[in-house]
């Protein structure tokens, strides 16, 4: 039963994603990002750079729309890293369970599995921190170029990759 549950977790691809940042939260439902910040209406962002606040479209120039598309893609990149970490952990759990149920359970094999998971998780964390740093750069450009984006411009923190790795 436990093996089946672990396998189901590995196969599961969650369509929704949520990221709680410094001063707000981003949720992804389907292909629509929603920016949540206390005290202001929610804003939505589509994959083609369309930006709405409280259901009303914000007029955009082509370069602004391009920046919003970069922002959207940045959130998608972070989502992929987070899903990758979950899948790596679930796969390691399945492998560890199989190893423990085997009559020839090997401590060296367990250590190898632990080391592999640790290495994968570290690489995914590093990539996620780099993606956050890239997204912060785009977020800062959006604040400077789209006045309506300013209230949503502190969701991703301005921390170094080293600080991010320590926090994660």
Domain that holds residue 140: 2-13+61-167
Q: Of all residues in the chain, what percent are helix, strand and coil, respectively (each to 5)?
A: 60, 15, 25
In a domain, 35, yes or no: no
In a domain, 55, yes or no: no
pLDDT score recorded for residue 1: 39
Inter-residue contact 23 to 37 (CB < 8 Å): yes
In a domain, 45, yes or no: no
- Alpha-carbon separation of residue 35 from 46, 78, 150 (angstroms): 11, 15, 12
The residue with greater pLDDT, 134 or 148, is: 148
pLDDT score recorded for residue 65: 97
Q: In this prediction, what percent of the chain has a pLDDT beyond 70?
A: 73
In a domain, 109, yes or no: yes
In a domain, 47, yes or no: no
Number of domains in the chain: 1
Inter-residue contact 140 to 153 (CB < 8 Å): yes
Q: Mean per-residue pLDDT for 103-126?
A: 72
Q: What are the pLDDT digits (tens) for 42-94?
A: 999 999 999 999 999 999 999 999 999 999 999 998 888 877 665 555 555 55
In a domain, 134, yes or no: yes
What is the average pLDDT value for the chain, to the nearest integer? Answer: 79
In a domain, 79, yes or no: yes
In a domain, 154, yes or no: yes
Inter-residue contact 78 to 1 (CB < 8 Å): no
């Amino acid at each position: 039963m436990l093996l089946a549950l672990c396998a189901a977790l590995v196969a599961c691809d969650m369509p929704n994603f949520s990221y709680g940042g410094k001063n707000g939260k981003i949720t992804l439902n389907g292909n629509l990002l929603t920016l949540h910040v206390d005290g202001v209406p929610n804003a939505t962002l589509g994959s083609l750079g369309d930006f709405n606040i409280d259901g009303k479209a914000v007029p955009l120039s082509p370069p602004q729309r391009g920046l919003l598309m970069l922002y959207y893609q940045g959130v998608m990149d972070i989502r992929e890293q987070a899903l990758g970490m979950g899948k790596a952990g679930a796969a390691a759990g399945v492998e560890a369970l199989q190893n423990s149920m085997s009559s020839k359970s090997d401590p060296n094999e367990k250590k190898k599995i632990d080391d592999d998971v640790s290495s994968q998780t570290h690489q995914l964390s590093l990539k996620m921190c780099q993606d956050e740093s890239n997204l912060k750069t785009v977020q800062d450009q959006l604040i400077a170029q789209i006045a309506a984006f300013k209230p949503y411009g502190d969701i991703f923190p301005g921390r170094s990759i080293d600080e991010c790795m320590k926090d994660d």
